[in-house]
Amino acid sequence: MAANRYRADYYLFRHFLMGMGSFRDRKVGSHEAMKLIFGINQPFKIRLEKQWLTARAALLSCKCPHFINGEGDWQIVLWIDPGTSLWNVLRERSLRDRPWALHDVKFSPVVEVVQTVGDTPDPQGALRIAETLIRVYSGARAVPATWDLGIKKAVGIIDNDPGLIDARSLARNLGMSFEDLNADFRRVLGSGLENYLHRRKWILYITHRQNGSDRNEALKLSGLPGWEGLKNRFEGQYGLDLEVLESSLPFVRVYEGPGDQPVLYL
């Protein structure tokens, strides 16, 4: 294990952001994404409803005020994008209108833990860990999305160069209304069109930064608004300062492997 073992790795998947490291919030968080936290080797401390609790795993709804102190050990954190199929599954099956749920398990559901800080990246391994946690704590399973030709074409256009695309122009070019295309995206991918497009732009931004582009050039090439707008949206969604990822670019993995297809969680 590298000496800087507590520096977090971040993995970007289609419907969630995953972090592995020793997490400690700067302030009480109350963000838009749902959050699943798992202590790899031991429980962690979390402040909920003005009291400190200890748990091996926690599932937090969006806008649930909390403060995590995982200092001294590794945690896996999944930030689940709001409005996605996975977000809905966790909300309906696991939380059931509760703001949070804690789990005290004796053994880890994760057979092998990918600790990639300073080592060879293993995003496929990270995805296996994430989906194991999803199955254990929600009973959900990932299945391939039901494709149709229109959505397949739209996704191809977006993924080819998301920096040149805006949602309403894309709908017009495909001969559809924005409302119909957005509804089809939700049915097929489990995510709204604008959310999917913004995520692809954000991932493109990260890729340009990792390839050496400066911040302003990367924003322009990715079709994103100014830095402050992107930073504010990121912090509002995940409760993280985007500077954290900016300063950890060698430890950010974008998963674009053979299994990185839109999925629905059932």
pTM for the structure as a whole: 0.91
- Please give the domain boundaries of the chain with CATH numbers for all domains: 9-143 (2.60.120.10), 145-238 (1.10.10.60)
Q: Can you tell me the distance from the alpha carbon of 162 to that of 154, in angstroms, rounded to the nearest whole number?
A: 11
| Positions in the chain short of pLDDT 70 | 1-7, 106-119, 257-261
* CA 121-124-128 angle, 5° bins: 125
pLDDT digits (tens, 9 = 90+) for 123-178: 888 888 898 899 888 888 888 888 888 899 999 999 999 999 999 999 999 999 99
Q: Can you tell me the distance from the alpha carbon of 43 to that of 74, in angstroms, rounded to the nearest whole number?
A: 10
Question: Which amino acid would we find at residue 157?
Answer: I
Per-residue buried b or exposed e for 242-262, using 16+ beta carbons within 10 Å of the residue's own CB = bebbeebeebbbbbeeeeeeb
pLDDT at 4: 44
Q: Are the beta carbons of 14 and 262 closer than 8 angstroms?
A: yes
